[in-house]
Structure 1
């Protein structure tokens, strides 16, 4: 499910003019974290198996990637750093995906509201994309290597890159990471966080996950997100 569309562009862009932001100091990466460090993080599952990540916007609403929720029969596990136990599991009642081709963003309404604790918290939506060179944080249960699929939630600090580094030309997506630091398969739909706000949703990356990843820009789609939430909640109230 992890999008692999820009591998060739990465190779071409290595010849482009302009700086590529690389770590110049120790960056915390690929380490297990407690759910209290990312209490907005959820696991989107089907038949008890982790598929993707997601972010808590409100007690009823999860934000994730559109390619993560194609079909029915999903559940959300919240409040646990373990993808296969603890926390609470709630059925997905309704889904709204962006109608535009390639706009990898979706809204999920839960069948019952989450109970907020120090392990289950919403995250606000950012209004602007973070500038290149700033440091953001991504978390998830995606592959940490070709053979490793962690059960414990992982977190890593990433540099926001110039768009050309990922072959991007439009503000609807964000490039973040560097060689050896990137989201991977299983992280899709999860949160990219800057200044304690949701700025991105994991969307895609290179096949071997060794370069920066692409994130759907939450600020770019903020109006659509808010309208979709209103629609999906109104539809539930009118039942």
Structure 2
């Protein structure tokens, strides 16, 4: 799906940080981290492979991006997912948990990735340990210049090729990178931004393919969900603002 999205969105200068068909993906400019450094981080698994990131909000609720619920043109169902928790490896260890229900924002737009937010209810509650923990929802957007961390299994590098498809390089181990929140007005002059977006990062330090749905964290609070960015992950990343969507998230959880 991500290659298809790449070709579609490259024409308008964007690429969602979601699923490619089908290598894994990772943070640009980051380094290996252990799951204890981001114990709220989960891997959304489809067909036995990492597809997107997500965050543990409660023992049975995961927050992720709406576009992570689609594969090509098909809307994925709860039964299509397994959630790996408690492991810094995308393909082993930790625990795999089934998903009981999912809900994406009713106004999600797959063309420009607006309202790109979703919640999942797990089929059974998680056992919290030093490797599996929840993260609270931030109530306010961080100010420009604030240091934030993004983590995931996304691409480490994205290079052009003669056939138009990106050449991607991926890790197995979880990566994280610290970068700064950027000014919304500045970002909106370069990338398509809506009022629900936060942007963070810079050239050489950003989220990338298959980091989608993963956490942007400030002071141990979830402030953003990875949504989209430049086609070659060579600039800042656009996140959905958790404070903006906080009422929707809480209502959505109550509904599933």
Tell me which interval the TM-score lies in, with the shorter structure as reference length.
Answer: 0.7 to 0.9
Give the RMSD, CA atoms, in angstroms: 1.9
Deviation at 1:171, TM superposition (A): 3.1
- 1:94 aligned to 2:101? yes
1:16-95 equivalences under 5 Å are 29-70=29-70, 71-72=76-77, 73-95=80-102
Corresponding residue of 1:127:
139
- Cα distance between partner residues in 2 of 1:212 and 1:128: 20
Asked whether the equivalents of residues 6 and 206 of structure 1 are also in contact (C-alpha less than 8 Å), the reply is: no
Structure with the higher fraction of residues in strand conformation: 2
Deviation at 1:164, TM superposition (A): 2.8
- 1:197 aligned to 2:221? yes
Gaps of 5+ in 2: 15-27, 71-75, 159-167
Structure with larger RCO (C-alpha < 8 A, sep 6+): 2
- 1:162 aligned to 2:183? yes
- Cα distance between partner residues in 2 of 1:169 and 1:6: 17
Deviation at 1:179, TM superposition (A): 1.2
Corresponding residue of 1:137:
149
- Cα distance between partner residues in 2 of 1:171 and 1:6: 23
Corresponding residue of 2:165:
none
Dislocated runs of 4+, deviation >4 Å = 2-9
> What's the CA shift string for 1:44-66, capped at 9, x where partnerless?
01111000000000110000000
TM-score (norm 1): 0.85
Asked whether the equivalents of residues 43 and 76 of structure 1 are also in contact (C-alpha less than 8 Å), the reply is: yes
Asked whether the equivalents of residues 5 and 205 of structure 1 are also in contact (C-alpha less than 8 Å), the reply is: no
Rg comparison, structure with higher value: 1
Deviation at 1:177, TM superposition (A): 0.3
> What's the CA shift string for 1:54-103, capped at 9, x where partnerless?
00001100000000013121110000000000000011111010011320
